[in-house]
Amino acid sequence: METTYIKAINDALRIAMREDENVFLLGEDIGALGGAFKATEGLLDEFGSARVLDTPISESLIVGAAVGAAAVGLRPVAEMQFADFVSCGFDQVVNMAATLRYRHGGNAKCPMVVRCPSGSGVRGGLFHSQNPEAWFTRVPGLKVVAPATAFDAKGLLLSAIQDDDPVIYFEHKFLYRRVKEDVPEASYVVPIGKAALRMEGSDISFITYGSALYHCLDAAAELAKEGVTSEVLDLRTLLPLDRGAILATARKTGKVLIVHEDRLTGGIGGEVAAIIAEHAFEYLDAPVMRLGMRDTHNAFAGAMEEYILPSREKVLAAGRKLAGY
């Protein structure tokens, strides 16, 4: 059944709530309004206000309540209306949720999900466009996922809800209604920690995730016309990284371009590059290259936003440079 990215999220939430009465949702305007983007539309009618909780505008409260609920055996799915505002609940995520199992010597668990609508390309400006995934990818005890397809949006969310550790789930706003594909109506899971090879090739490798996947696929298709075959690896999970898949593609082609929408400095691309440099250096035929958002604030004006973000054209130019090295 052809399904949009956001409908896949809605379907996953509905399935999880039907399958397990311990699953409940909390967040701002997720009930009667159905969420700012309609990701929770219809769920209040089916499951009632005891399981679809509208909260005050307080991210620290939302995440803190989720931690407490998870600690006593429930499976909360907390929504940040925009990923940018997870910073207001940062302490609860990294100091409470992430450490709970360790603090209790493995005798407690924290099965919760924090849904974070993230990403640029929607003219959201400073406070509604950020990609804050790298804030969390260095925190032991967390898992971090970033689906790029509707199939993965559903399968990774169901995996996250079933997981006994806290999962930060980054869903890209630009993809909500632009990405459609056939998605099974039944329940299924996409394993956390496993990358997906979206295209096979032998000349260069694109390693990417989220919205940048589509820039890489477009660039790879154009490069194929020029006689350059590309591998495109979609990380899907950012913590833990699929090191095996990263090293396999690097060793196969010897030329790697890492692309993400997050800012270049401090982005997960630096960690991927370090893994390759440390464990696959002898296979490389060119320096590992990175392409990300410019190290600046998110712009509101369309021309400025396009200037600072990765694009098909920028990926293609970088791919050509790498192929010709």
- Which of 104, 128, 172, 279 is catalytic? The answer is 128
Nearest in space to 126 (alpha carbons), one of 314, 310, 308:
308
**Side-chain-side CA neighbours of residue 219 (13 Å):** 29
> What CA–CA distance (Å, rounded) separates 88 from 79?
13
Q: Helix, strand, coil proportions of the chain in percent (round to 5)?
A: 40, 20, 40
Contact 257, 291 (CB under 8 A): yes
Question: Is 128 one of the catalytic residues?
Answer: yes
Six-digit token string for 191: 């394993």
One-letter identity of residue 104: H
By residue count, the chain amounts to 325
**Tell me, what DSSP letter sits at residue 303?**
H
Six-digit token string for 57: 């505008």
- Helix (H) or strand (E) segment spanning residue 208: strand 204-208
One-letter identity of residue 273: A
Contact 34, 44 (CB under 8 A): yes
Which are the catalytic amino acids? Answer: 128
